[in-house]
Amino acid sequence: MTVYQQVYLLDAGNTQIKLALAQNGLIQWVKRFEMSLFPLETLDSNIPMAFSSVIKDELSTILHSYFTTCFEVNQLLKLPFKMRYNSPETLGIDRLCNAAAISILAPEKPKLAVDLGTCIKFDFMTAQNEYFGGSISPGLSMRAKALSTFTAKLPLLPIYRSPAIMGSDSQTSLEVGTYMGWQKEIEGFIDAYRTSYPDIQVFITGGDAKHFDIGQKNGIFVHENLTLEGILSLYHSHE
């Protein structure tokens, strides 16, 4: 098999499935589905499937039984970067894919993947393509749900991108605290990495990336399909 053939790419996260088709080594299209609405039977079972999943093993079983060729990302694969993480067997599959993606981006520069989804995930790689790890913290929706779940009277509010730093009532205080706290945490981490690595390249991805205000900062790029690109890179490296 060569990079000039087709391959499905599937990223099963905590909240949705992202499906893509790659051809000639490039992603042609991307679609998103709720787990219960994933149209497996509409896919061509003769096209190889490369996937990563952070959810139940039953999805893996279904995909392996449906597709003639099925490639699953796991922690035992030979990697296109040097693993320096102390417990690679515990590294989340989505983080592994993001690391694989940034390993082929910004050659000879330190780089950082920032995945904004259910959780905020930072993954750092040196200019020598050595992966050391990063951080995990609650994402935007998780913060809003925590305020409602673990208090007696605070309501669950929809995510509102607020530029304010001060709320004038309980609702706006929650909105500001949830969003701006999330925004400033991300900015603070990026600034901390930049202090140690001034020429670092930052790649932001994930479903909540649309809420993040990048501003005028240089060296920060939104890469919507970073995880899928990582799956594709790992797949081609094992052909």
Same domain, 91 and 55: no
Domain contains 148:
no
On whether the CB atoms of residues 142 and 152 are closer than 8 A, the answer is no
Same domain, 180 and 116: yes
Domain contains 150:
no
Residue 126 half-sphere exposure, CB side, CA atoms within 13 Å? 8
- Is 123 a catalytic site residue? no
Domain contains 145:
no
Same domain, 65 and 25: yes
On whether the CB atoms of residues 83 and 44 are closer than 8 A, the answer is no
Domain contains 146:
no
Domain contains 154:
no
State phi, psi for 86 to the nearest 5 degrees.
-70, -25
Final residue of a structural domain among 21, 44, 72: 72
- We report the CATH number of the domain holding residue 41 as 3.30.420.40
d(CA 7, CA 235): 9
Domain contains 12:
yes
> CA–CA distance from 4 to each of 1, 14, 130, 132 (Å)?
8, 31, 29, 33
Final residue of a structural domain among 19, 49, 72: 72
Same domain, 128 and 34: no
Same domain, 110 and 61: no
Same domain, 113 and 195: yes
Domain contains 187:
yes
Q: How many residues does the chain have?
A: 239
Question: How many structural domains comprise the chain?
Answer: 2
Same domain, 104 and 192: yes
Scored b (16 or more CB within 10 A) or e, 104-135 reads ebbeeebbbbbbbbbbbbbbbbbeebebebbe
pLDDT for the residue 1:
42
Round the CA-based radius of gyration of the chain to a whole number and report it: 19
Domain with 186 in it = 82-139+173-233
Same domain, 41 and 122: no
Domain contains 161:
no
d(CA 55, CA 13): 7
The residue ranges of the chain whose pLDDT is under 50 are: 1-3
pLDDT for the residue 2:
47
Q: Which of 11, 94, 115, 208 is catalytic?
A: 94
pLDDT for the residue 54:
79
Pairing of strands 119-125, 130-138: antiparallel
Final residue of a structural domain among 16, 37, 72: 72
